C-alpha cells in the first residue's frame, strides 16, 4: 500500500505545513490538550529497499550523496540488471528550481550488459502535460543505434534482440520529468519494439505526408528554417521524402529552429556538441538526430505524419546451400489446399471468371521462370536512387536484377511461387492459388535493405492510389503479401497506407518475423508491418504442426501456416522440412530458373495470401472485414495451442477448404457472418508496476453471442465489470492484481471467458519483484515524516541517506496520539516528497494510523516507485496532466532537502 489518505491515493510532501485531510495548524490537531507539558516520544525504524533499487546519479537534488553527471557516453552510469531505477531529466529552465534547473539535465546515459529477451521499460510523469522523454539504445561494440522508443506515450519500452553491452539514453525533449526505468529479467516482460543488430533507420531521411489542415507555404517556411530539403517534391495526398542537412552544425541549428517554431517563440535550447559523441558513435548521433527531427517537425502540426525512413529486411532465414527438388505435399496438405482445389474445380467456373491479383512486395521476380512467367500481371520497382546506400532507381520492370556476385536467395521469386506458381505444366511445382495472377513490386536492391518510404509507394501502387511512379495498374490488387519486416511498433506511414489500401478492398497479409528463439524459451514480438492494424500477421509451423523455433509471437499474431524447418526431416520423403518453391540460379550461360527450399515466416505468409486469393476467386465481393470476421470466428482455421486465440498461434492454422467453403457460402447468402465475442487486448501484461488494467469484451461483427462469465484461476487476480451491458455483459472490465498473494518472479494467471456458445482464455503476465535488501540499493535521500492522523499537521521529520541498502531513521519529540508515518524521495527538488513518480511508502500498510503512547522502535517498512500503474498512465495520456493527487503534505520548513 503506497497511500496516505483513507481514500487511498498517493500523497506528496512540500516545504510548508500542509495536510492530507485538509487543514494546517500546529502539533496536536485532534489530540486532547494536556493540562501541563505534554510528554513526547521517539519513533525509529528501518526502511528496506528492493534489491533492484537504484537512482539516477545526477537528479535535481543538489545534496544527493555521491552525485556524478551521467549526461553522455563517456560519463554513462554503470548499472546491473534486473533493476528498478528512479531519476529526473529536464531541458534548461524547465521543472522545479534545483541544481539542474538552469543548465538542464536533458540526457541520462546508462551502460550495462543485456541479455536477449530482457525488456527496458520507462515510464515518466511531468508537471505540464507537454513534457516528453525518449529512449534510445546504442550497442557498445558497433556504436550503432539499434533501438528507439520516441512516441508521445508516457510509457515506452524496447526488447533486447541479442546479448551484448549497451548504452541506454533517456532524453528529455520537452519540459521536465520524473522517470522510472525498469529492466526485467529475460522473459519477464514483452514489448512491441525489439532491438536490431543493424541501423533500424536510414539516417538523415524522413518520410512525411502533408496535412490538409496546413498550407504548403507554411510547410515550405518550416523546411527552410530547419534546413530540410524535399527529395521528390510535395504532392497532395501521397507521402514524400525529406533530407536532413549533412553538416553537424547545420543539423544542430535546424533542430533548435524547429524547437523554437513549435514551442511558439520559446528560446531555443543549446544542442549537444560533437564532443558528446565520440567518433564511433557518430552514426548513432545521426540516427538519433533524425528521430528528433521527426518529432519536432511533427509537432509543428504541418504534417499528417513525419517518420524516419526505416530499413526493412527480407525475412527468410537458414536456407540450405544445395537445391532440393521435391514435392510441396506436406505444406499444402497441412493447410488442406488439395481439398480446396477439389471444391473449386467441382464448381466448373467459366473461363471468364476474374482471376484475383496478389501483389508481392519483395525483392522482385525471375520474370522468365516457366512456373511464373504466364502468371505475371504488371508490376513495378520502387527502389530509391536518392540514397547511394540503397537504390538502383525506379522502373516499370519488377525483374530481380541480381547477379551471381550478389549471392541472391531469390526471396521474392520464392514467395511469388508459393502464392501462384502455375500448375500442370510439367515443370517444377505449383502455387497455393494457381488461379491467381501476380503483381511483383520490387523494393529491394540486390543485397540491400529496403526503405519504408519505398514500401509505402508499393502499397499505394498495389491499391491503385497515386504514388511516386506517376502510374497506376490497370486493376488494383486483391491481396498484398509482405514477407518483410523490421523491429518496432507500426509506423504511421505503414498504418496510414495499409488503411488506405483496405479502403480500396485490398486484403493485406504479412510475415510475423523470425526473431524468436522458441527452442531456448525466448520469444520475440511480431515485426512491422505485420503488427499494423488491419494486417493479417502470419506465424510459421513446422511439418509436425508445431510453432517453429524462429516464429515471432504476440497480441497482433493472427494466423499460422507452414514456414518449414530445414533442420528437420520428418515427412518420410528424405528431404528436409523446408518450404520448396520457385528460385533462380546461375550457370555458365547466365541466370536460369530453378526450384528449392527456404524457411521462415516469409514462407508462411504467402500460403495465407494464396488461400485468400482462392476466396476472392470464388467470391470476388468478399471484403477485408468479412475475412477478418471469419478469422476471428474461427471459421477458416483449425485451433492450435490454448483454447481460442493465443499469442503463440493466433487464431490457429489456416484451412484452405474451410476458407473456400465459407467464401462460397457468403456469396450464396449475401449475409455477412455473425460476429463472435473477443477480448481486446487478447493478452494482458501488468509487468511489475501496474496493479490494474482494462479489458473490453466485444463482438467482431453484429451477432447474438453473449458473455456468461469471466473467471480468474488465481486468487490474486480479480475481475470487476466497469461498464457493461446488463443483458449481453459485453463492455469494459477492470483486471486488478494483489501481488501479496503471488510468489516472487513472474506469474501467468489465466482468465476464462465463457460465452453462450463456447469458451476462450486471456493470458495475463504479472511480475512480483524481490524485496530483499541489497548493499548497493539506493533511491537517493529519503524524507521520513510523522503527521497528526486527524489534521495532517507535520509533527516531526528527518532526511536520511542510505546505508548498506537501508535507511535507518529516528524522529524525536512526537506527542501521544494517532499519527501517520510516511517516507519518500524528492528527487526533482520541488519540496514535495512522495510526489507522483517518486518513491514512497507508509507505515503501517494495513491501517490508516498508529497510536503513540510511548517511544516505539522497529517501525520497519518498505518503499517503492509510485504513480506508474496502467490506469494512472492512461488517465495522464487522456488529460495530458498528471493524475489527480490528494492535497499535498509539505516538508517541514527549515528541514527541506
Which residues are tagged catalytic?
Answer: 362, 411, 602
CA end-to-end span of the chain, whole Å?
25
SS3 label, residue 603: helix
Task: Report the run of H or E that residue 667 belongs to, with start and end.
Answer: helix 656-669
Buried b (16+ CB within 10 A) or exposed e, 708-735: eebebebebbebeeeebeeebbbbebeb
Query: Nearest Cα to 833, choosing from 765, 791, 885, 875?
Result: 885
Distance CA 479, CA 617 (A): 11
**Cell matching residue 792:** 495532517
241 CB-side CA count, 13 A:
23
Distance CA 580, CA 590 (A): 22
Buried b (16+ CB within 10 A) or exposed e, 453-481: bbbbbbbbbbbbbebbbeeebeebbbbbb
Distance CA 69, CA 308 (A): 31
Give Dmax over CA atoms of the chain in angstroms.
112
State CA 95 to chain mean position distance.
29
Distance CA 339, CA 787 (A): 77
Distances 864 to 14, 350, 352, 848 between C-alpha atoms, Å: 19, 71, 70, 18
**Cell matching residue 408:** 541472391
Distance CA 660, CA 341 (A): 9
Which residues are bridge partners to 840 per DSSP? 824, 864
Distance CA 368, CA 693 (A): 55
389 CB-side CA count, 13 A:
11
Omega before residue 428 within 30° of 0, cis: no
Strand pairing category for 507-511 and 479-482: parallel
SS (H, E, C) 709-726: EEEECCCCEEEEEEEECC
Distances 102 to 8, 96, 260, 800 between C-alpha atoms, Å: 36, 10, 18, 27
Amino acid at each position: 500500500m503506497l497511500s496516505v489518505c483513507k481514500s487511498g491515493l498517493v500523497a506528496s510532501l512540500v516545504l510548508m505545513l500542509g495536510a492530507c485531510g485538509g487543514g494546517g495548524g500546529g502539533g496536536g490537531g485532534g489530540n486532547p490538550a494536556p493540562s501541563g507539558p505534554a510528554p513526547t516520544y521517539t519513533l525509529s525504524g528501518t526502511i528496506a529497499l528492493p534489491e533492484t533499487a537504484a537512482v539516477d546519479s545526477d537528479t535535481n537534488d543538489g545534496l544527493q550523496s555521491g552525485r556524478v553527471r551521467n549526461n553522455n557516453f563517456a560519463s554513462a552510469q554503470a548499472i546491473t540488471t534486473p533493476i528498478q531505477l528512479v531519476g529526473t531529466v529536464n531541458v534548461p529552465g524547465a521543472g522545479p528550481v534545483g541544481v539542474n534547473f538552469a543548465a538542464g539535465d536533458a540526457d541520462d546515459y546508462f551502460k550495462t550488459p543485456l541479455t536477449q529477451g530482457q525488456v527496458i521499460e520507462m515510464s515518466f510523469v511531468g508537471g505540464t502535460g507537454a513534457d516528453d522523454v525518449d529512449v534510445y539504445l546504442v550497442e557498445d561494440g558497433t556504436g550503432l543505434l539499434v533501438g528507439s522508443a520516441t512516441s508521445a506515450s508516457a510509457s515506452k519500452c524496447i526488447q533486447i534482440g541479442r546479448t551484448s553491452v549497451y548504452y541506454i539514453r533517456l532524453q528529455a525533449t520537452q519540459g521536465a520529468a520524473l522517470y522510472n526505468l525498469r529492466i526485467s529479467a529475460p522473459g519477464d516482460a514483452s514489448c512491441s519494439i525489439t532491438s536490431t543488430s543493424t541501423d533500424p533507420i536510414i539516417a538523415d531521411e524522413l518520410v512525411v505526408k502533408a496535412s490538409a489542415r496546413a498550407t504548403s507555404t507554411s510547410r515550405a517556411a518550416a523546411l527552410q528554417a530547419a534546413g530540410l530539403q524535399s527529395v521528390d517534391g510535395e504532392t497532395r495526398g501521397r507521402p514524400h521524402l525529406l533530407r536532413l542537412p549533412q553538416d553537424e552544425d547545420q543539423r544542430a541549428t535546424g533542430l533548435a529552429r524547429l524547437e523554437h517554431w513549435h514551442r511558439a517563440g520559446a528560446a531555443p535550447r543549446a544542442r549537444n556538441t560533437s564532443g558528446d559523441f565520440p567518433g564511433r558513435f557518430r552514426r548513432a548521433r545521426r540516427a538519433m538526430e533524425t528521430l528528433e527531427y521527426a518529432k519536432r517537425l511533427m509537432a509543428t502540426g504541418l504534417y499528417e505524419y513525419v517518420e524516419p525512413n526505416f530499413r526493412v529486411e527480407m525475412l527468410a532465414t537458414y536456407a540450405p546451400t544445395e537445391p532440393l527438388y521435391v514435392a510441396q505435399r506436406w505444406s499444402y496438405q497441412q493447410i488442406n489446399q488439395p481439398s480446396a482445389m477439389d471444391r473449386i474445380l467441382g464448381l466448373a467456373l467459366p473461363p471468364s471468371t476474374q482471376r484475383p491479383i496478389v501483389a508481392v512486395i519483395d525483392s522482385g521476380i525471375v520474370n522468365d521462370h516457366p512456373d511464373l512467367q504466364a502468371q505475371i500481371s504488371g508490376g513495378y520497382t520502387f527502389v530509391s536512387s536518392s540514397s547511394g546506400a540503397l537504390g538502383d532507381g525506379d522502373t516499370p520492370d519488377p525483374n530481380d536484377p541480381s547477379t551471381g556476385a550478389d549471392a541472391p536467395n531469390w526471396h521474392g521469386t520464392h514467395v511469388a511461387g508459393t502464392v501462384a506458381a502455375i500448375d500442370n505444366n510439367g515443370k517444377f511445382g505449383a502455387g497455393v492459388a494457381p488461379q491467381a495472377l501476380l503483381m511483383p513490386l520490387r523494393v529491394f536492391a540486390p543485397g540491400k535493405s529496403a526503405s519504408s518510404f519505398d514500401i509505402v509507394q508499393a502499397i499505394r501502387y498495389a491499391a491503385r492510389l497515386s504514388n511516386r511512379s506517376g502510374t497506376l495498374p490497370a486493376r488494383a490488387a486483391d491481396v498484398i503479401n509482405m514477407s518483410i519486416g523490421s523491429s518496432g511498433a507500426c509506423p504511421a506511414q505503414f498504418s496510414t497506407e495499409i488503411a488506405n489500401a483496405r479502403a480500396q478492398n485490398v486484403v493485406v497479409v504479412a510475415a510475423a518475423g523470425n526473431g524468436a528463439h522458441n527452442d531456448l524459451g525466448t520469444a520475440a514480438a511480431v515485426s512491422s508491418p505485420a503488427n499494423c492494424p488491419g494486417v493479417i500477421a502470419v506465424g510459421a509451423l513446422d511439418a509436425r504442426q508445431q510453432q517453429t523455433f524462429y516464429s515471432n509471437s504476440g497480441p497482433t499474431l493472427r494466423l499460422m501456416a507452414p514456414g518449414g524447418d530445414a533442420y528437420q526431416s520428418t515427412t518420410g520423403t528424405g528431404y528436409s522440412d523446408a518450404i520448396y518453391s520457385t528460385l533462380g540460379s546461375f550457370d555458365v550461360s547466365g541466370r536460369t530458373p530453378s526450384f528449392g527450399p527456404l524457411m521462415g515466416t516469409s514462407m508462411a505468409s504467402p500460403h495465407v495470401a494464396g488461400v485468400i486469393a482462392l476466396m476472392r476467386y470464388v467470391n470476388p465481393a468478399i471484403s477485408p472485414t468479412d475475412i477478418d470476421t471469419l478469422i476471428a470466428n474461427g471459421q477458416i482455421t483449425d485451433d492450435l495451442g490454448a483454447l481460442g486465440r493465443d499469442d503463440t498461434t493466433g487464431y490457429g492454422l489456416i484451412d484452405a477448404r474451410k476458407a473456400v467453403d465459407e467464401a462460397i457460402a457468403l456469396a450464396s447468402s449475401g449475409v455477412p457472418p455473425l460476429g463472435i465475442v473477443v477480448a481486446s487486448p487478447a493478452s494482458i501484461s501488468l509487468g511489475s508496476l501496474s496493479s490494474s488494467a482494462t479489458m473490453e469484451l466485444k463482438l467482431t461483427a453484429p451477432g447474438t453471442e453473449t458473455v456468461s462469465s469471466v473467471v480468474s484461476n488465481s486468487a490474486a487476480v480479480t475481475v470487476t465489470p466497469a461498464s457493461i451491458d446488463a443483458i449481453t455483459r459485453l463492455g469494459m472490465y477492470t483486471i486488478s492484481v494483489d501481488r501479496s498473494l503471488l510468489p516472487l518472479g513472474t506469474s501467468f494467471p489465466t482468465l476464462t471467458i465463457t460465452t453462450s456458445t463456447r469458451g476462450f482464455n486471456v493470458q495475463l503476465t504479472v511480475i512480483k519483484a524481490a524485496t530483499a535488501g541489497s548493499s548497493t540499493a539506493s533511491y537517493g535521500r529519503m524524507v521520513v515524516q510523522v503527521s497528526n492522523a486527524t489534521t495532517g499537521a507535520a509533527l516531526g521529520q528527518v532526511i536520511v541517506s542510505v546505508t548498506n541498502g537501508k535507511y535507518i531513521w529516528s524522529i524525536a519529540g512526537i506527542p501521544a496520539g494517532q499519527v501517520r508515518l510516511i517516507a519518500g524521495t524528492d528527487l526533482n527538488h520541488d519540496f514535495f516528497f512522495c510526489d507522483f513518480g517518486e518513491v514512497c511508502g507508509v507505515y503501517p500498510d494495513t491501517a490508516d494510523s498508529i497510536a503513540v503512547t510511548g517511544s516505539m522502535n522497529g517501525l520497519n517498512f518498505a518503499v517503492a516507485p509510485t504513480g506508474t500503474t496502467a490506469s494512472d498512465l492512461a488517465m495522464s495520456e487522456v488529460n495530458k496532466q498528471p493524475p489527480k493527487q490528494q492535497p499535498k503534505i509539505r516538508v517541514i520548513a527549515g528541514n527541506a532537502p
